[in-house]
Structures are given as C-alpha cells and as structure tokens.
Homo-oligomer: A and B are copies of this chain.
Amino acid sequence: MASTNEICEHLLRTPPPSATAIAYNYLVPNVKGLEGLVRIMDDTGVSAAGGSSADKASTTTEISVFTAATEAFSKANTNCTIAESLERIRPIVTQALSHNIRVRGYVSVALGCPYEGPNVPTSTVTDITASLLEMGADEVSIGDTTGMGTAPRTMELLNALRAAGIANNDLALHFHDTYGQALVNTIVGLEHGIRIFDSSIGGLGGCPYSKGATGNVATEDLIHTLHSLGMHTGVNLEAMSKIGDWISGELGRANASRAGKAILAKLQD
C-alpha cells in the first residue's frame, strides 16, 4: 500500500479527470503533516484552490483536523485531552489558512462515546465547534462515530448548536449506520437545514476505538434518500452503485449499501 505522501502526490500531480470540481481532503494530525502537504503542493505546482495547472477546474485541496467530544475518546484516539487537541489544531489551521487551504474540523463521538456512553453533553459539542470555527475552520463536521445518535438527541444537539449562534452552513453531519439510525438522523438534519452530509461508498470504514462500529452511512443509501425526497445531487446513482460494488470486491468486504445492492440487482434483471 502506498504511503499517504505517495497517494497525496499522485492525486495532486495527476488528478483523475472529472466533469465537476472535486475537493481532495487530507487528514492532517499535526503541523509537520501540513508542512509535508504544502511541500508536495509546491513541488507539484498545485495551488490549493485552483488545482494543478493541467486541470485547473477539477481539484481543490483541503485538510481535516480531528478532535472529540469526550475526554476518554480523545485520550484513546489522539492521546491527549480535548483542550490539548484544540491547542494542537490551532497552528495547523493558522498555517493552512495562510496557504489558502480550506480547513474542515471534525468533532468525533458527538452523539455517543464508546467509553462515556450515549449522553454526551451538547454544551461540550457546541463549545468545541465554536472553538474550531473561531480558529478559522471553514466547516465543522459533527460526527456520530458510534452510531448511537437518535432522532431526538440529534435534534437536541442541532438546536443547541443553533442556540450557540453557530450557522447551519458552517456545519456538516457525519453519521455511522451502526444502529441503523443514520438515515433517520439525516432526515432530522435536513429538516433542521443542514445540507452537508458525510458518507462513504459501499459503507466503507469503521473505527478502531469503537467496538462494532461500522463505516459511515453508505453514499448510495444517502443519495437514494436525498433523491427520494426530490433533492438534486448531481450524482449518477447507478454509476455510484457500480463503483461501490467494485471497491467492496477489491477490498474483500461485503457491500454495505442496501440501495446500491438493490439497484445492481435490478440492473441484472
């Protein structure tokens, strides 16, 4: 398997052709990681917002920084307290912004923690989210890492974020379907006015610090749900379903997308 730097360099140098702009997002754990990314960008002649000179319209580069909503998870996942993780993140954000690199913050275990249980205080989540935005993060993704989130608690958290003065368009929602609630919670988010939702094709992923955690909600299931509500995503769901099945096969995993599998079964009729 190629190293992160190799993958990063490959994508920056020869971005796959695309009809629409794609934002490649790199997880940056510390300032050194950011410096490495900036060096590769400089070497390959890529500017953050514009893509490579060869294919200006198709790629942008952005970074992700991670923190968590509980001390126990922060310790397990990043080996530091929440406050320490925010202090690690601050210079990354500052430097990224100085290079015009877009920053996405993540708040893990916002709706349930494998160590501290389902009832994560909403005030902790709103405080961390506000800190990330004040540092300059362009967007914060609220992560239900364990999939423990329920419709009522998702609603409560979104109301708390609104009450704290945080705008809907500064937020994304990131649901795992571990308990089958991802799409129900997505509907709660949509009704609240959130329009950015994380997902992974074929439901790939998981979390080593959250036992039994499955991947993000499958992109195919999310897109099917959005289309079923009459929303436009610009995504070709048939093509997406084929890709999800292909990558699941390559990785030797079961395809976790229900809509994807149903669409493919129908195509084979």
Interface residues of A (CB under 8 A from B): 147, 150-152, 177-181, 183-184, 187, 211-212, 214, 218, 221, 224-225, 228-230, 254, 257-259, 261-262, 264-266, 268-269
Given contacts A180-B259, A211-B266, A211-B268, 14 further A-B contacts (CB under 8 A): A150-B228, A151-B187, A152-B230, A178-B258, A178-B262, A179-B258, A180-B221, A180-B224, A180-B225, A181-B183, A184-B225, A212-B264, A212-B266, A214-B262
A87 smallest CB distance to B (angstroms): 31
The one of B177, B259, B264 that contacts A258, using a Cβ cutoff of 8 Å: B177
| Cβ–Cβ < 8 Å partners of A264 in chain B | 212
- Are A179 and B224 in touch, CB under 8 angstroms? yes
The complex places the Cα of A265 from the Cα of B221 at a distance, in Å, of 24
A218 smallest CB distance to B (angstroms): 8
A89 smallest CB distance to B (angstroms): 30
Cβ contacts A to B, 17 pairs, < 8 Å: A147-B258, A178-B262, A179-B259, A179-B262, A180-B257, A180-B258, A180-B259, A181-B224, A181-B228, A183-B183, A211-B265, A211-B266, A211-B269, A212-B261, A212-B264, A214-B262, A254-B254
The one of B181, B228, B258, B261 that contacts A151, using a Cβ cutoff of 8 Å: B228
Q: Which of A151, A212, A268 has the most CB of B within 10 A?
A: A212
